[in-house]
Structure formats: structure tokens, C-alpha cells
Structure 1
Amino acid sequence: MEIVVDAYTEEECAMAWYCHLEDSLSFPFDARVRQTMPASPLRAGERFSVTELARDQLCRVTIFVHAQHNQRELVVPLAQLVPIRADQSTRLAVSDWHYWCDQGYSF
């Protein structure tokens, strides 16, 4: 909740999260799919190299990242991924995002 303490609208909440993750994530990092999602073709256990945060315009509903998988670049929901080779700041930021999503919070 510290991340969105000064956010009063959905857009401000989305931008607060985006800015926090932009400052905290170090790219590239390796990740695996932690769970399947109805709107995503990714399967639990698949591995990716996460290359960057998606543009802020794309992250107004949820946070997306760009990932490399089998020589393809994909845009993937960050909530679906778990870092497996990443620095402490990245692991903590993704964990915070997972907590936010798992609690049912949204923008």
C-alpha cells in the first residue's frame, strides 16, 4: 500500500506501480511462469528472459513486460512470472506485485 499511498484515481495507481517497478526492476532477468491464466497461452513452468517493462500506455490495466521465449518476443503479464535469476530489488518488486494481484487489488 506504500506504493499507492498518494494515488487517488485508477490512473494514478497504475502510474505509481509503473514508476515503482521501473525503478526497481533490473533487466534482463530470467523468469518462469508461476501460474496459467485464462487469457494467456503460457504454461506453468515455462522459462523466459524478461527484457524490459512494457510501455506505460500498455500498463494501465495491469503490468506487462517484454520477454524472449524460443526466439520470439512476447508481452507477458508480470503477475504470471517469477524471477529465477534476478537481483534482490527485482525479486522484491515482483513479489510485491504478486501480493497486490493475489489480494485482488486492481487499478
Structure 2
Amino acid sequence: MAGTKINAEREHRIEMEVVVDAYNEEERAMGWYCYLEENLAFPFEGRIRKAMASSPLRPGQTVAVTGLAHADLCRVGIFVWVTSNQRDLVAPLAQIAPLNADEATQEAIADWHYWHDQGYAF
């Protein structure tokens, strides 16, 4: 999905709140992790929005999102703990659309989806 329409407001928020003063991959990864840690309220219900090779979850499936994965794992992408079919597993946040999350959670996830879908990398 790289190359989706540029959202100037979202780009500005990401530049000023998430990756501000981040000069390398590790700093950008930690910026995202801290931003999401501060803005996501767990648990919330989510729906799988797309298939991803790194996940067994399928589009349309509903999961309970219970927390951020450990910061070390999130150095390569943002991952969250989910419960699906009575199993706990780690899934890419880029794969999950929130269903019943608060406004701050929805906006933070939309920011991550935007970043990810634009093809940006840490």
C-alpha cells in the first residue's frame, strides 16, 4: 500500500510527537514504542484488516488486543499481544483495526497504520 495519499496533519503529528529528535532506526523504533505505550488503552477488541506473512491471523477475524509486545521485539516493527481462539500470541499492530477502543487508542493506531502503509521504516 505504499504511496497512499499524504495526510499533512498526520505527518506533522508523527514528526513532532513520535520521531522528533530520532536520528537512527533504533531511536525511531523507541519513539514509536513510547508513543504507543502512552496512547494505547488495553484491552480492546480488534478486527484483522489484512493478512500478513508474519501472522497466522486472517482478515475479518476478531481478536482481543491485550498489550504491547516487549520493546526488544518492537525494534523491527510494532507488535501487540492478542488473544485468539483462546490462545495468546504476538501479532503485528499493522494487521489490526480497533473496534471498541477509546479515541486516543484509535488515533495512535491510525498513525501507525499510516506510517506502515506509506512504506516508512524505522
Q: What TM-score, normalized by structure 1, do the two folds share?
A: 0.97
More strand by share: 1
**Mapping of 1:64-103 within 5 angstroms?**
64-103=79-118
**Aligned to 2:56, which of 41, 45, 50?**
41
Kindly state the Cα deviation for residue 8 of structure 1 after the two structures are TM-superposed.
Answer: 0.1
In the aligned structure 1, how far is the partner of 2:41 from the partner of 2:85? 22
Kindly state the Cα deviation for residue 39 of structure 1 after the two structures are TM-superposed.
Answer: 2.6
**Residue 4 (str. 1) matches residue 10 (str. 2):** no
Over 2 Å off, 4+ runs: none
**Mapping of 1:7-46 within 5 angstroms?**
7-46=22-61
Kindly state the Cα deviation for residue 89 of structure 1 after the two structures are TM-superposed.
Answer: 0.4
Percent of aligned pairs sharing the same letter: 58
In the aligned structure 2, how far is the partner of 1:29 from the partner of 1:38? 23
In the aligned structure 2, how far is the partner of 1:89 from the partner of 1:49? 18
- TM-superposition CA deviations, 1:56-80 (whole Å, max 9, x none): 0110000000001111001000000
More helix by share: 2
In the aligned structure 2, how far is the partner of 1:16 from the partner of 1:39? 23
**Gaps spanning 5+ residues in structure 1: where?**
none
In the aligned structure 2, how far is the partner of 1:18 from the partner of 1:31? 19
Instruction: Provide the residue aligned with 2:5 in structure 1.
Output: none
**Gaps spanning 5+ residues in structure 2: where?**
1-14
Aligned residues, how many?
107
Q: What TM-score, normalized by structure 2, do the two folds share?
A: 0.85
Considering only CA atoms, is the larger Rg found in Structure 1 or Structure 2? 2
